[in-house]
Amino acid sequence: MISPSMHTATPVARTPARARMTWALVSTLALISAPLLSAQAEVCEPNAGPIVVEVESTNATGSWVQENSIAGYTGDGYFRWAGSNHYNQPGNGVLTYIINVTTPGIYNCRIRNMHVNPDGTLENDCFTRMDGSPWEKSFSSIPQEWNWATWIAPASSSQYKSFYALTAGQHVFQISARSAQFRVDRIHFFITGTPGGQAEAWSESNCPSQWTDVGNGLAGTGGITPLLEGAGDLSAGSSNEANLTGALPGSTTHLLVGFSLLNTSFKGGVLVPSPDVLFLGLPVDGAGALSLPFVWPAGVPAGTPIWLQHWVSDPAGPKNLAASNGLMGEAS
């Protein structure tokens, strides 16, 4: 008898591909008792225009705060560094963005920013880096208006307009706080000659989703149905997340993972996946959320489906349970 208070995985895997998927999911258990990683935004190169990243598409960390009080921003707002200055100390309030590049080349990097101090040399910079390279000061010299001026001031050479040589594949771009009150709205990456490389009209460069909401959630406290969403492209070696929100804060949840669709009546709701792998008694935080990062293994054939669903301990649900929607992922 498995105690629901324990983090337990019970796998059923009959093929090598299923065994690899099972191991990838079991490996997430090592992260459950450790501090969870902040969600990382991921974008993909579009068919036309720049690669666009809205700064608020990742979680605000450290003393970054999301605001919308200064008009002219794009997306849902911008981030302002509300902490102290860190002129010689990069690594504070790190924001992480995963950039998927299709066309290799030299990419200009432009950060849409604002600093309200009338002195163009104050409150005007942050640190940036690509793929774990040394942090470099990125600054703007245009005060009191949204602008695209993005210069790099490395310690060992003269300043230059920001650019990166990017190969085809996945890259990790990061921003770290430097000056108090510096505001960041969005980031564009584009090869010289790209039409509208700095045009604000472009939407964020979302990646094609490998995840499908298949419904059949069950409401709990307050009539709220927990929401399960997937992030990541489920390609070999890729970083992915299964993100639960809207669950009863402070409760526990049981994640069911299946390699086939069941859709059968269960506890007043619908059990979506066949219960091939069970993660029991996972902790829901005070905001009603749980994020489980995992790395997708190599060797899983493209198109292989997997189904997930959370069942949350909730006294307001039938049989003291609420359920998330079912979620299908498809290996790429």
**In this predicted model, what pLDDT tens digit does every residue of 285-309 receive, in sequence order?**
999 999 998 888 888 888 889 999 9
Q: Give percent of the chain with pLDDT exceeding 70.
A: 88
What is the CB-side half-sphere exposure of residue 140 using CA atoms within 13 A?
Answer: 25
By CB atoms closer than 10 A (0-12, 13-18, 19+), residue 16 is exposed
User: Based on the domain organization, do 296 and 227 belong to the same domain?
Assistant: yes
User: Based on the domain organization, do 23 and 104 belong to the same domain?
Assistant: no
Domain extent at residue 266: 16-38+208-330
Q: 3-7, 64-68, 134-138, 299-303: which range is least confident on average?
A: 3-7
Total domains, the chain: 2
pLDDT at 186 over 70: yes
User: Based on the domain organization, do 309 and 226 belong to the same domain?
Assistant: yes
Do the domain assignments include residue 258?
Answer: yes
Phi-psi label, residue 26: left if phi above 0, alpha if psi -120 to 50, beta otherwise: alpha
pLDDT at 15 over 90: no
pLDDT at 136 over 50: yes
- Residue-level pLDDT at 22: 61
* 30, containing H or E segment: helix 29-32
Of 191, 226, 248, which marks where a domain is finished?
191
* 265, containing H or E segment: strand 261-266
Do the domain assignments include residue 202?
Answer: no
pLDDT tens sequence across 196-230? 999 999 999 988 888 999 999 999 999 999 999 99
Q: In this structure, how many other beta carbons lie within 10 angstroms of the beta carbon of residue 7?
A: 14
User: Based on the domain organization, do 64 and 171 belong to the same domain?
Assistant: yes
User: Based on the domain organization, do 33 and 141 belong to the same domain?
Assistant: no
198: helix, strand or coil: coil
Of 191, 220, 248, which marks where a domain is finished?
191
User: Based on the domain organization, do 67 and 125 belong to the same domain?
Assistant: yes
User: Based on the domain organization, do 63 and 165 belong to the same domain?
Assistant: yes
pLDDT at 11 over 70: no
Do the domain assignments include residue 163?
Answer: yes
By CB atoms closer than 10 A (0-12, 13-18, 19+), residue 96 is middle
Of 191, 216, 247, which marks where a domain is finished?
191
Residue 56: name the closest of 170, 174, 157, 185 by CA: 185
Integer angstrom CA distances of residue 165 from 21, 42, 136, 171: 34, 19, 16, 11
Integer angstrom CA distances of residue 102 from 64, 107, 166, 171: 31, 12, 10, 11
What mean pLDDT do residues 272-277 have? 93
Instruction: Give pTM, 2 decimals.
Output: 0.64
Indicate which CATH number applies to the domain containing 308: 2.60.40.1930
pLDDT at 26 over 80: no
User: Based on the domain organization, do 127 and 31 belong to the same domain?
Assistant: no
What would you measure as the largest C-alpha separation in the chain, in angstroms? 68
Do the domain assignments include residue 197?
Answer: no
User: Based on the domain organization, do 103 and 151 belong to the same domain?
Assistant: yes
Do the domain assignments include residue 270?
Answer: yes
User: Based on the domain organization, do 50 and 34 belong to the same domain?
Assistant: no
Do the domain assignments include residue 67?
Answer: yes
Indicate which CATH number applies to the domain containing 123: 2.60.120.260
Instruction: Write the single-letter amino acid at 179.
Output: S
Do the domain assignments include residue 164?
Answer: yes
- Residue-level pLDDT at 301: 87
User: Based on the domain organization, do 186 and 231 belong to the same domain?
Assistant: no
pLDDT band of residue 269 (cuts 50, 70, 90) is: very high
Do the domain assignments include residue 1?
Answer: no
User: Based on the domain organization, do 91 and 183 belong to the same domain?
Assistant: yes
